[in-house]
Structure 1
Amino acid sequence: MTNALTDLDQINAELMTGSARNPFGRDVAPGDGVSGEIIAVIRRHRHNSQGQPLFWVNRRPQVAATGDPVIDSQLILETDDRADDEDDGLAAVTMDRDVQRAIRAGVRRARANGVAIGGRLDGLLFVGPAEGGNGRVYDLGSYTPPA
């Protein structure tokens, strides 16, 4: 199965994530979190640090001529958090399996069918590393669907 991204998808990914910070980067500490309104949903082809596109080969992302593209999904949140005067308050939450697990539970508690533009995530927190060191644990306080 291949996922084709249109030129508009690529443009929107660059446009919406240009200044959006990742609230759960490498330096995240337990208790760090983010809240905000979902203003965009981005899907884009992942690239390595040299800018080369990655493809799934033997269940691993690799630079290759064949294979399905590695696609990342992100929710772009508009938050009230500002690190400085240049910060526009956008946060890009990458939807890895651990974040998905927390958001899925919050969406189910809200009895919604999924996330939507205009919906709000409140209290998406990094709890800590998963037991055994494989992955991370997140928790979502609540999801509020758009009105």
Structure 2
Amino acid sequence: MTSTLTDLDQINAEIMTAGATNPFGKDIEPGTGVSGEIIAVIRRHRRNSKGLPLYWVDRKPMAVEAGDPVIDSQLVVEIDQAELVDAQDEGLRLITLDRDVQRALRAGLRKARVAGVAVGGRIEGLLYVGPVEGGGYGRIYDLGAYVPPTA
């Protein structure tokens, strides 16, 4: 399955994610959370630390142009002002929709009785609970609520 992103998709992804930080990085502490309005939903070709695009090779992301591109889906969330760290912070958070975040988001969407996220919707209390118990791979997240946009 090949997913082609247009130049406009790539430009919009770069514009919307400039200054946006990942609230759930490697050194995250349990109890860290984020709330705010979804201002963009983007997809982009993942790159490695050297800026090279990644492709799926033997079920692993590699920087060789073989196989399908590794595409990330992300939400750009404008957080509530009370959460801002400093004056340099634009208040944007970039939430990558990995399988663990998707699990929590799906549960919130079912509770809200909606078929999916939408620009203008609100994520209320997306919280990192901790690592998967028993030493397994992954993380546990919980979503307080998803509030769909008003018409």
- TM-score interval w.r.t. the shorter chain? over 0.9
Find the counterpart in structure 1 of residue 99 from structure 2: 97
Helix, strand or coil at the partner of 2:105? helix
Q: Report the residue type matching 1:128 in the other structure.
A: G
Question: In the aligned structure 1, how far is the partner of 2:65 from the partner of 2:8?
Answer: 24
Q: Report the residue type matching 1:146 in the other structure.
A: P
Find the counterpart in structure 2 of residue 138 from structure 1: 141
Find the counterpart in structure 2 of residue 13 from structure 1: 13
TM-score by length of 2: 0.95
Question: In the aligned structure 2, how far is the partner of 1:30 from the partner of 1:45?
Answer: 29
1:133, distance to aligned residue in structure 2 (A): 2.9
Runs of 4+ in 1 over 4 A off after TM superposition: none
Deviations 1:40-89 (A, max 9, x none): 01100001111111000111001112100000111000112211111110
Q: Report the residue type matching 2:100 in the other structure.
A: D
Q: Report the residue type matching 2:23 in the other structure.
A: P
1:107, distance to aligned residue in structure 2 (A): 0.3
- Aligned residues, how many? 147
Helix, strand or coil at the partner of 1:69? coil
Cα RMSD (Å) of the superposition? 0.7
Find the counterpart in structure 1 of residue 31 from structure 2: 31
8 Å contact kept, 2:38–2:120 = yes
TM-score by length of 1: 0.98
Structure 2 residues not aligned, in runs of 5+: none
Helix, strand or coil at the partner of 1:108? helix
Q: Report the residue type matching 1:145 in the other structure.
A: P
1:31, distance to aligned residue in structure 2 (A): 0.4
8 Å contact kept, 2:54–2:65 = no
